[in-house]
Amino acid sequence: MNFRDLGGLPLAGGGSTRAGVLYRSDAFYPGDAAPAEAPLWPPAVVVDLRSPGETAARGFDWPAGVRVEQVPLMRRAAVVTGRRDHGSGPESRRPVRLEALYLAMLQAVPDKLASLVSLAARADGPVLVHCAAGKDRTGVAVAVLLLAAGVEPASVITDYTATAPRVPALLGRLQALGRRLPADADAHPELLGAPAGAITAVVDRLTSWPGGPQAWLAEHGCPSADAVRWRELYG
């Protein structure tokens, strides 16, 4: 799996993020075991960034008490498709460069991305963020959460690129589960990678925003109290 705990990341003001607060992953499927890397399990809140139609016929059975929040970000950002998704229609026409795709996500659903900070700040335990592969939508969402907490921008980029060596095994896992690669994958192999430049575009957009990431969050609907609580909880 593409799971990791996001504790121990250096903060711009000193110190590091707490373990057992924020996790990122690809989607869980029936039969998946609890990840050994998780200091606390199960999560209190699972944020599923997939769109309707992406989930398997039978989803993962989360234990009682786990709250699952569906926050669909951008269907055309999915790295894999379902058995019946043949890559046609307006949702399949996506940018062929990850940098453009990620910036399009910031433009199209900034309010949803900002709302993730409120979800995380109000959770009463660990928060797990995932999409299908845990790379693109999860990459952008986690970048927002990390920058909101004051993580050093360089460490946000390093965390994102940590997915790169996991991609071959991850794609094999997804294909074995009946998911298909996009029709344009061979022509645009960057779509299946995790290059630093792709997430750097997101980091630059938020850090160069007038007032920085906190101002970006406020402009897109995140209450300042939630932003402060998230920094205190995670940092």
| Statement: residue 183 has pLDDT above 70 | no
Q: CATH code for 4-76+89-230? A: 3.90.190.10
Q: What angle do CA 97, 69, 52 make, to 5 degrees?
A: 55
Query: What local confidence, expressed as pLDDT, does residue 187 receive?
Result: 54
Mean pLDDT within 125-148: 96
Query: What local confidence, expressed as pLDDT, does residue 185 receive?
Result: 63
pLDDT digits (tens, 9 = 90+) for 42-75: 999 999 999 887 776 578 999 999 999 999 997 7
Strand order in the sheet with 67-70: 4-5, 22-25, 127-130, 45-48, 67-70
| Statement: residue 19 has pLDDT above 70 | yes
| Statement: residue 124 has pLDDT above 90 | yes
Which segments of 10-73 are extended strands (E)?
22-25, 45-48, 67-70
pTM for this prediction: 0.91
Mean pLDDT within 21-35: 95
More confident residue, 184 or 107: 107
pLDDT digits (tens, 9 = 90+) for 140-153: 999 999 999 999 99
Query: What local confidence, expressed as pLDDT, does residue 146 receive?
Result: 98
Mean pLDDT within 209-219: 98
Which segments of 127-217 are extended strands (E)?
127-130
The overall average pLDDT reported for the chain is 89
- What gap in Å lies between CA 131 and CA 27, rounded to an integer? 6
Confidence category of residue 87, pLDDT binned at 50, 70, 90: very low
pLDDT digits (tens, 9 = 90+) for 155-178: 999 999 999 999 889 888 888 887
